[in-house]
């Protein structure tokens, strides 16, 4: 039994407690059981109301059971499943008594769709209470009435924001948009829900707080068509048509508004059925499971290790990365000593942290009071003051081995013997950085990506001497920070940058052949990358990329020979966005190719009459081949983790399922034959990795499943 009903003063309290699971999920059997419970209650003439509450700590309903979605065989079955699930909120909506959803913890996907059928929603003010419809991130749309009901509750534009953007909102934002009617402390949740029914407070439920402009735009067809057009343009611009789900969801939302609930629900289940069968949906659900598997990784096979508690930390270097890391740690309530060489640098770093918090306040994810509390957790210093009590230090000073080495040896005498010493280096060997340290087992790499608050990946760099205790603690901390950890070996470039480098180098070869940077970038945008290689070079800094490219060349030899264009532009002072001298420049608001760079490299791109498919193949296959070499060298444990790293580190297109998943879909033989052709045509840098050759010889596959 999943639902337990108790009745108090003629109010039915339905406790949701999915048997044998840590979380509540909605599946067909669960929905059917609840339907039965609700139908029984509807017959009780004396009943004054019904409350739905979760018995699980910190979770209300996590969403629909994804395994059930994955098992859907065809469009027809998808339509039926959705139509069947839609019955439940519709039934609840039709009850003769008020219904209150008492929400503590996550209320997502099907969970939110269910409670949209309730008369009144109360949320707790806990950090864990979040409501959202993340379906489109799985390649589907909310198929349980969410597309139709959400716009009625919060207004069209906020609803589009949540559904098309797969957004999850904290309780405070839900309150402000009218998605929930009240926010209360956890302890008062049930008593308040009872009070709402007993005192008839649900009747005074405020309608959504639409502004006059919103009303004008949303409540007439013309205004709505305008919003529709803009939303469609924005989706197409962002996705280049690679993701069908947001487009379909947009159509369904409009159908609901124009034709009413009954027709809208029909359209919604049809849309769900069509989407669930797409390749994109299968890839995105595959990623979801891979992400769940990553959450279970601990970083060691030794299960008896005790995690170290990280309550107090220090960050050294208050620059772009250090400030971002300090903000993240404080956001998760870990105190931070932020150290830099002078007050000016500290002031700049603190201003960055405050700005990041202010953005959260502006987006209603945080209150101003919380901003002050979080900022209070960051204590600036130019000394090692307060370092004795920290559990972890993250170093993010300039990428200079001598500076980092000196710092690490000074650190040892300033911290307790148990403190973990992490470096955010993007290219240096962690054992070189710790060369002068006595206790190297507590030294680890924690490679965040830029900007820290946006990029989900953290590469955890492990040397043979790093203790398992250190690794598991840092893996756990990374998860606690809401990031995706991937454990990688301490070898130049680690994983993501190593795979990126030959790809960017190949873009330079294409430029040398006369293809303009904007065309090359466009080819990769069409492939689905969030930005093309030249835009990426400008944004990470051409100087940083060139430095890293030489380190990789030294380590891996001529396969990674740095294209001379990179050296030429650096010598001429072209560092990218940081000094506004890159492959692109700004002309007013527009970003245009910086033609001055062609006099530096000594030739101009040609007029292109056609786009060759081979350009994309060359760039993508450089990444695929390097990824295979990384697997061969056990830089990362599995293709699945590699795929996670590429998606969360540089935004490799999720709809393709990941870099190695993409190669898997092509098939090992096709990959080898393509590499053989490129090898003959362009030389050593395309020599197929033996990983592929071996797999092809054994008739093997990259992934065991399809």
- State the catalytic residues: 459
Contact region with ligand NAI (CB under 6 A), list: 254-262, 313-321, 352-360, 621-629 = 313-321
The CA–CA distances, whole Å, from 472 to 377, 437, 466, 627 equal 25, 21, 11, 25
DSSP string for 434-469:
TTT-S-GGGEEEEEE-SSTTT--EEEEEE-TTS-HH
Shortest reach from residue 553's CB to ligand NAI, in Å: 18
164 vs 250: CA distance, rounded Å:
7
Q: Which residues are paired to 59 by β-bridges?
A: 106
Separation between Cα atoms, residue 160 and residue 154, nearest integer Å: 10
Min dist CB 400 to ligand NAI, Å, is: 8
Tell me the Cα Rg of the chain.
27
Does position 1 interact with ligand NAI (CB under 6 A)? The reply is no
CB burial of 357-373 (b: ≥16 within 10 Å; e: otherwise) equals beebeeeeebeeebbee
Cβ 459 to ligand NAI shortest distance, Å: 9
Beta-strand pair 457-462/443-448: antiparallel
Smallest distance, Å, CB 569 to ligand NAI?
18
Considering the rule CB under 6 A, would residue 397 count as an interface residue with ligand NAI? yes
71 lines the binding site for ligand NAI (CB under 6 A): no
The conformation of residue 332, written as its DSSP 8-state character, comes to T
Binding mask 168-187 for ligand NAI (x = CB under 6 A): --------------------
Name which of 197 and 474 has its Cβ closer to ligand NAI: 474
Number of residues that bind ligand NAI (CB under 6 A): 24
Among the listed residues 54, 137, 294, 424, the single contact to ligand NAI using CB under 6 A: 424
Among residues 130, 192, 339, 453, which is the contact residue for ligand NAI, using CB under 6 A?
A: 339
Binding of residue 317 to ligand NAI (CB under 6 A) = yes
- Report CA dihedral (162, 165, 166, 171) to the nearest 10 degrees: -40
407 scored as a contact of ligand NAI (CB under 6 A): yes
Question: By C-beta, is 37 or 397 nearer to ligand NAI?
Answer: 397
As measured in angstroms, the least distance from the Cβ of 319 to ligand NAI is 2
Exactly one of 377, 396, 472, 597 binds ligand NAI (CB under 6 A); that residue is 396
Q: Is 345 in the site for ligand NAI (CB under 6 A)?
A: yes
CB of 409 to ligand NAI, least distance (A): 12
- For residue 394, what are the β-bridge partners? 315, 422
- Our CB check for ligand NAI shows the closer of 457 and 678 to be 457
Pick between residue 138 and residue 356 the one whose CB is nearest to ligand NAI.
356
Query: Among all chains, which residue has been given the structure tokens 């949540």?
Result: 162
**Residue closer to ligand NAI, measured from CB, 127 or 400:** 400
In the complex, minimum distance from the CB of residue 365 to ligand NAI, in angstroms, rounded to a whole number: 24
Residue 668 Cβ vs ligand NAI, minimum distance, rounded to whole Å:
33
| Residue with Cβ nearer ligand NAI (185 or 530) | 530
Structural contact between residues 217 and 226, judged by C-beta atoms closer than 8 angstroms: yes
The residue (of 119 and 330) whose beta carbon lies closer to ligand NAI is 330
CB neighbours of residue 677 within 10 Å: 14
Nearer to ligand NAI, 341 or 596 (CB): 341
Cβ of residue 324: shortest distance to ligand NAI, in angstroms? 8
Q: According to CB under 6 A, which one of 236, 305, 375, 403 is a site residue for ligand NAI? A: 403
Site for ligand NAI in 440-479 (CB under 6 A): 448-450
Our CB check for ligand NAI shows the closer of 268 and 395 to be 395
Query: According to the binding rule CB under 6 A, does residue 540 interact with ligand NAI?
Result: yes
Token readout for 314 is 């220090």
Return the bridge partners of 184, or none.
124
Under 8 Å between Cβ of 700 and 690: no
Dihedral (Cα; 228, 230, 233, 237), 10-degree rounding? -130
- The least CB distance from residue 322 to ligand NAI, in Å, is 6
Stretch that binds ligand NAI, among 171-179, 256-264, 390-398, 517-525 (CB under 6 A): 390-398
Give the number of residues written for the chain: 706
* Residue whose pair of structure tokens reads 């803009």 in the numeric block: 230
Tell me how far apart the alpha carbons of residues 165 and 379 are, in angstroms, rounded to a whole number.
36
Give the H/E segment covering residue 508. helix 496-512
- State which of residues 308, 425, 535, 622 lies at the interface with ligand NAI (CB under 6 A): 425
| Interaction of residue 318 with ligand NAI, rule CB under 6 A | yes
SS3 184: strand
According to the binding rule CB under 6 A, does residue 322 interact with ligand NAI? Answer: yes
Instruction: Tell me if 502 sits within 8 A of 557, measured CB to CB.
Output: no
Each residue 256-295 as x (binds ligand NAI by CB under 6 A) or -, in order, gives ----------------------------------------
Q: Dump the DSSP string for 612-627.
A: -HHHHHHHHHHHHHHH
User: Residue 322 or residue 517: which is nearer to ligand NAI going by CB?
Assistant: 322
398 binds ligand NAI (CB under 6 A): yes
Q: What are phi and psi of 603, to 5 degrees?
A: -155, 160
| Closer to ligand NAI by Cβ: residue 72 or 645 | 645
CB 135 within 8 A of CB 255: no
How far is 485 from 108, CA to CA, in rounded Å? 24
Distances (CA, A) of 80 to 74, 266, 284, 311: 10, 10, 22, 50
Contact 280, 139 (CB under 8 A): yes
| Closest chain position to ligand NAI (CB) | 319
Strand partners, 336: 313, 378
Phi-psi domain of 144 (left: phi exceeds 0; alpha: psi -120 through 50; beta: other) = alpha
| Residues 6+ positions from 446 with CB-CB distance below 8 Å | 394, 422, 423, 424, 458, 459, 460, 461, 474, 478
Q: How far is the CB of 155 from ligand NAI (least distance, A)?
A: 38
Q: Cβ distance 152 to 172 under 8 Å?
A: no
**Segment near ligand NAI (CB under 6 A), from 87-95, 220-228, 394-402, 430-438?**
394-402
Shortest separation between residue 339's beta carbon and ligand NAI, angstroms: 5
* Among residues 99, 177, 298, 426, the one that binds ligand NAI under rule CB under 6 A: 426
Does residue 559 contact residue 684 with C-beta atoms inside 8 Å?
yes
Q: Are 254 and 228 in contact (CB under 8 A)?
A: yes
Residue 320 lies near ligand NAI (rule: CB under 6 A) = yes
Cβ proximity to ligand NAI, 399 vs 476, nearer residue: 399
Using CB under 6 A as the binding rule, whether residue 496 contacts ligand NAI is answered as: no
Min CB(522)–ligand NAI separation in Å: 24
User: Where does residue 104 fall: left (phi above 0), alpha (psi -120 to 50 degrees), or beta otherwise?
Assistant: beta
Scanning the structure block, which residue is given the tokens 């966005």?
577
The DSSP line for 207-225 is PP---HHHHHHHSSHHHHH
Stretch that binds ligand NAI, among 23-31, 159-167, 190-198, 421-429 (CB under 6 A): 421-429
Under rule CB under 6 A, residue 319 binds ligand NAI: yes
Q: Is the CB of 7 or the CB of 450 nearer to ligand NAI?
A: 450
CB 662 within 8 A of CB 651: no
Residue 340 is a binding residue for ligand NAI (CB under 6 A): yes
Q: Site mask, ligand NAI, residues 640-669, x = CB under 6 A?
A: ------------------------------
Enumerate binding residues for ligand NAI (CB under 6 A). Answer: 316-322, 339-341, 345, 396-399, 403, 407, 424-426, 448-450, 540
């Amino acid at each position: 039994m999943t639902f337990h009903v108790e009745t108090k003063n003629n109010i039915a309290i339905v406790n949701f407690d999915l048997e044998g699971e840590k979380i509540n999920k909605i599946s067909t059997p669960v929905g059917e059981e609840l339907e039965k419970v609700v139908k029984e209650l509807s017959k009780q003439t004396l009943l004054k109301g019904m409350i739905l509450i979760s018995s699980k700590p910190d979770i209300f309903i996590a969403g629909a059971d994804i395994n059930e979605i994955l098992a859907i065989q065809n469009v027809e079955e998808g339509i039926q499943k959705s139509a069947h699930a839609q019955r439940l909120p519709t039934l609840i909506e039709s009850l003769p008594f008020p219904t209150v959803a008492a929400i503590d913890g996550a209320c997502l996907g099907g969970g939110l769709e269910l409670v949209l059928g309730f008369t009144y929603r109360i949320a707790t003010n806990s950090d864990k209470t979040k409501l959202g419809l993340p379906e489109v991130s799985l390649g589907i749309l909310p198929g349980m009435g969410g597309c139709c009901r959400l716009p009625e509750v919060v207004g069209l534009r906020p609803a589009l924001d949540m559904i098309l953007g797969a957004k999850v909102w904290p309780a405070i934002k839900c309150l402000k948009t009218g998605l929930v009617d009240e926010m209360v402390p956890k302890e008062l949740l049930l008593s308040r829900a009872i009070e709402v029914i007993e005192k008839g407070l649900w009747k005074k439920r405020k309608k959504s707080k639409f502004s006059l402009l919103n009303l004008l735009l949303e409540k007439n067809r013309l205004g709505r068509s305008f919003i529709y057009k803009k939303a469609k343009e924005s989706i197409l611009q962002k996705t280049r048509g690679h993701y069908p789900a947001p487009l379909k969801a947009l159509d369904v939302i409009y159908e609901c508004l124009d034709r009413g609930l009954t027709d809208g629900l029909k359209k919604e289940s049809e849309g769900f059925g069509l989407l669930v069968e797409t390749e994109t949906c299968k890839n995105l659900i595959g990623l979801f499971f891979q992400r769940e598997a990553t959450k279970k990784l601990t970083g060691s096979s030794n299960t008896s290790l005790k995690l170290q508690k990280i309550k107090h930390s220090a960050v050294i270097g208050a620059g772009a990365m250090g400030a971002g890391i300090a903000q993240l740690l404080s956001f998760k309530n870990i105190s931070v000593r932020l150290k830099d060489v002078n007050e000016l640098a500290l002031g700049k770093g603190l201003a960055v942290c405050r700005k990041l918090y202010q953005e959260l306040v502006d987006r209603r994810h945080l209150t101003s009071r919380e901003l002050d509390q979080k900022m209070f957790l960051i204590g600036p210093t130019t000394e090692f003051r307060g370092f004795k009590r920290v559990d972890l230090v993250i170093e993010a000073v300039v990428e200079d081995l001598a500076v980092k080495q000196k710092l690490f040896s000074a650190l040892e005498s300033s911290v307790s013997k148990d403190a973990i010493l992490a470096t955010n280096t993007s290219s240096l060997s962690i054992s070189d950085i710790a060369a002068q340290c006595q206790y190297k087992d507590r030294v680890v790499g924690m490679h965040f990506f830029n900007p820290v608050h946006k990029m989900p990946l953290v590469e955890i760099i492990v040397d043979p001497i790093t203790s398992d205790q250190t690794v598991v603690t840092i893996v756990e901390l990374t998860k606690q920070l809401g990031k995706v950890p991937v454990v990688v070996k301490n070898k130049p470039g680690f994983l993501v940058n190593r795979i990126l480098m030959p790809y960017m180098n190949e873009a330079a070869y294409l430029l040398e052949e006369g293809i303009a940077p904007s065309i090359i970038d466009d080819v990769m945008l069409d492939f689905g990358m969030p930005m093309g290689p030249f835009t990426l070079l400008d944004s990470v800094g051409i100087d940083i990329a060139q430095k890293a490219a030489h380190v990789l060349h030294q380590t891996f030899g001529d396969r990674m020979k740095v294209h001379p264009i990179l050296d030429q532009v650096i010598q001429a002072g072209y560092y990218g966005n940081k000094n506004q001298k890159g492959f692109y420049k700004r002309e007013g608001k527009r970003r245009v190719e910086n033609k001055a760079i062609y006099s530096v490299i000594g030739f101009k791109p040609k007029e292109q009459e056609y786009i060759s498919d081979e350009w994309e193949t060359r760039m993508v296959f450089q990444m695929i081949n390097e990824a295979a070499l990384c697997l061969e060298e056990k830089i990362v444990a599995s293709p699945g983790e590699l795929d996670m790293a590429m998606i969360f580190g540089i935004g490799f297109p999720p709809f393709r399922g990941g870099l190695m998943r993409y190669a898997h879909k092509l098939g090992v033989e096709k990959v080898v034959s393509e590499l053989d052709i490129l090898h003959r045509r362009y030389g050593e840098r395309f020599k197929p990795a033996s990983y592929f050759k071996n797999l092809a010889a054994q008739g093997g596959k990259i992934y065991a499943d399809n």
